[in-house]
Amino acid sequence: MGKPKIDISLTDDNRELPILRSRQYLSFLKEGASYHESRDSRHPLGIYNISVARICDKIIKCADHLFKYWAEGKLTDNGGIVIDYLELATYAAAEHVDDIGHIAYAFFKSDREASQNSKIRLLNNRIKSVRDEIASFANTVKHYHGRIRLFETTFRHEKERIKLLGFYVEGFRTNRHIGFQ
């Protein structure tokens, strides 16, 4: 049994996905197009690359352990390694949302100038729901001792036995009211 192959389209209706356009634009920044040096910050592309690489690294390691689970039929150490990588991926995702702001702010001389810009306010409005959800998830784990728990269920579909592995965070609540009362 080989690793499952998943094809992911990098286009949406024959257009590149926004994340790929972001990388492309940041790759071709002209000298002086941002204020990252005067703000004592990394180049925006550096922030982007490190941020995305951190998420990918944690997800890949988690996926490698999940593949072992599917190959062997059981989780080593009761899934502790998978849980650790899910937690680390959650933190990396929360930091990535912050990094989006750092990248945007690098194009302004000061935080004050950036915060007064209508495009920055629009960006903040557009990422607010994602930021709040990811931050809530990460904070539940990190500060409120919500533990990531794995669950598994097996069912049959058209005579095929299917094993589904998922996870939840104890105490995590969203507008959909999952978690403790």
Q: Helices 118-142 & 80-105, crossing angle to 10 degrees?
A: 160
Q: Mean pLDDT throughout 26-51?
A: 91
Please tell me which residue, 76 or 34, carries the higher pLDDT value. Answer: 34
Rounded distance between C-alpha atoms, residue 154 and residue 107, angstroms? 51
| pLDDT on residue 179 | 47
- Domain assignment of residue 25, yes or no: yes
Rounded distance between C-alpha atoms, residue 169 and residue 167, angstroms? 7
- Domain assignment of residue 120, yes or no: yes
Q: What is the pLDDT of residues 77-123, one digit of tens each?
A: 778 888 999 999 999 999 999 999 999 999 999 999 999 999 999 99
Domain count across the chain = 1
Residue range(s) defining the domain that contains residue 122? 16-145
| pLDDT on residue 150 | 86
- Domain assignment of residue 151, yes or no: no
Residue 69 has pLDDT above 50, yes or no: yes
- Domain assignment of residue 113, yes or no: yes
Residue 174 has pLDDT above 90, yes or no: no
Residue 14 has pLDDT above 90, yes or no: no
Rounded distance between C-alpha atoms, residue 117 and residue 140, angstroms? 32
Q: 3-state class of 120 per DSSP?
A: helix
Partner residues linked to 172 by β-bridges: none
Residue 177 has pLDDT above 60, yes or no: no
pTM of the predicted protein model:
0.77
